[in-house]
Amino acid sequence: MAMGRDSEVQSDLIVTWAEIPRSPGHVFYDKLQKLLAEAGFDGFVEKTCKPYYAPRMGAPSLPPGRYFRMLLIGYFEGIDSERGIVWRCSDSLSLREFLRLSSRDKVPDHSWLSKTRSRLPHEVHDQIFGWVLALVAGHDLVKGERIGVDGSTMEANAALRTIVRRDNGETYREMLVRMAQESGIDTPTIDDLVRLDRKRKGKKLSNADWASKTDPDAKVARMKNGSTRLAYKPEHAVDLDTGVIVAAPIHPADKGDTTTLDATLETAARNLADIGLAPTSGDPCDLVTDKGYHSRELLKGLDGDIWKTRIAEPAPPNGYLRWHGDEAAQKAVYANRSRLKSAVGRKAMRKRGEMVERSFAHVLDRGGMRRAWLRGRENVHKRYLIHVAGFNLGILMRALFGCGTPRGARGASKAFLFVVQTDVALVIALVAEFDGERAMLLIVFTPEGADRPG
């Protein structure tokens, strides 16, 4: 048989419906599509975004629900950039169906994602996050009894070599060149600058002295791996009974845990109130955090409030504590210590290490948000909220259908293997079942010289 060769393909003038390529569907995205449609996701999004569009002006825009669906795909597929999201959606017929595109529609360009994000304010993204949280709470997946809080780091889309001094706009290299010339080196080389920078005293990058020209909101911070980068600080408030994230603000990376906790708790209390689970002073919610959040002023402020603290206590510097007549701080610290050392407190601390750290692993590492490709803290937070909403949807999908990610849908399928050997063939049948739907893969091996089975 002669080898066939590719030639130029002429497009068909007429294509019937049966000839149009269609996807057999992805079991995870089909279930998620059905879940969002039954809950009225697109109708809610269009109603929420309507005030930010002109009543009548030119051609109608693309549906805003498609914008949020593409961001959800970014989380579920672990794609960090918007160009990557567009490429992945264009390459998959299943994702095109999830975006509700017809056979003749094109996947929106990445510039459309950027323009839509800039035109829709932060409040709209926050309302979409709240809608998903209410959907999850409607399936009894938010208890609101124990909240764990912790922070992490997210690398900003800016390089340290672009930082400038706040007082005179001098770059870091220009500063090194000036210092080298002052020390007697008229034309310093790169090696001279590196050697000078390594040996000079008082070497420190302070956010009070330095700023980034490309992203002024990014701050110099120490990352989790020990490196120094321009970064942001996402902070999660997680329901320890279910793992659902009830608040996910992004703070400046140079802010300590004790200074950002109040804003995170305020957001968490507001979101819990919106779904009818607001904590009260008569029925407070347990607050479980690590020792980075422990301070006397913070414990005094939360004592008797809607939050019942179980904050890990660091070892005192000299082995004992001095109160200097501050009885309110002494009372708050001892009450927190007694709650922390109880059996309930120890169990809650173990749960915090499991649930809160898992949320960061899913959203930042697997979800593709460990490094931001956007600039500006509010701009980054818009996309981050939708990624967190995707994480909460994954928990709901896992509760309803047994898997929370597309990859998990492939791995969580129930598989049955049947092997039948006859005189003429070896038949292997693999039957996979997911949520009541079955698919079968049939493999037939025939020995050499034997007749092929019909």
In order along its 454 residues, the chain shows pLDDT tens digits of 344 455 555 555 555 555 555 556 688 999 999 999 999 999 999 999 999 988 888 778 889 999 999 999 999 999 999 999 999 999 988 899 999 988 788 999 999 999 999 999 999 999 999 999 999 999 999 999 999 999 999 999 999 888 998 888 888 888 888 888 888 888 888 888 888 888 777 777 888 888 999 999 999 998 888 888 999 999 999 999 999 999 999 999 999 999 999 999 999 999 999 999 999 989 999 999 999 999 999 999 998 889 999 999 998 877 788 888 889 999 999 999 999 999 999 999 999 999 999 999 999 999 999 999 999 999 999 999 999 999 999 999 999 988 888 887 766 555 555 566 666 666 666 555 555 555 555 566 666 544 444 4
* Phi, psi dihedral angles at 429 (to 5 degrees): -120, 125
Letter for the amino acid at 177? V
Which of 353, 372, 129 shows the shortest CA–CA distance to 245?
129
Between the alpha carbon of residue 22 and those of residues 28, 31, 77, 97, 276, the distances in Å are: 17, 18, 21, 9, 43
Residues 283, 143: contact at Cβ < 8 Å? no
Residues 253, 218: contact at Cβ < 8 Å? yes
| pLDDT at 439 (0 to 100) | 57
| pLDDT at 3 (0 to 100) | 47
Who contacts 13 (Cβ-Cβ below 8 Å, separation ≥6)? none
Tell how far CA 199 is from the center of its chain: 40
DSSP state, 4?
P
How far is 203 from 206, CA to CA, in rounded Å?
10
Domains of the chain and CATH, by start: 19-120 (no CATH), 142-157+222-373 (3.30.420), 160-213 (no CATH), 413-445 (no CATH)
Please tell me the pTM assigned to this model: 0.84
| pLDDT at 133 (0 to 100) | 97
Q: What angle do CA 433, 100, 370 make, to 5 degrees?
A: 75
| pLDDT at 209 (0 to 100) | 87
Who contacts 97 (Cβ-Cβ below 8 Å, separation ≥6)? 23, 25, 29, 33
99, two tokens:
């975006």
89, two tokens:
């959606």
DSSP H/E element including 125: helix 122-137
Who contacts 271 (Cβ-Cβ below 8 Å, separation ≥6)? 130, 133, 246, 247
Who contacts 54 (Cβ-Cβ below 8 Å, separation ≥6)? none
46, two tokens:
């269009």
Which of 352, 359, 358, 357 shows the shortest CA–CA distance to 389?
359
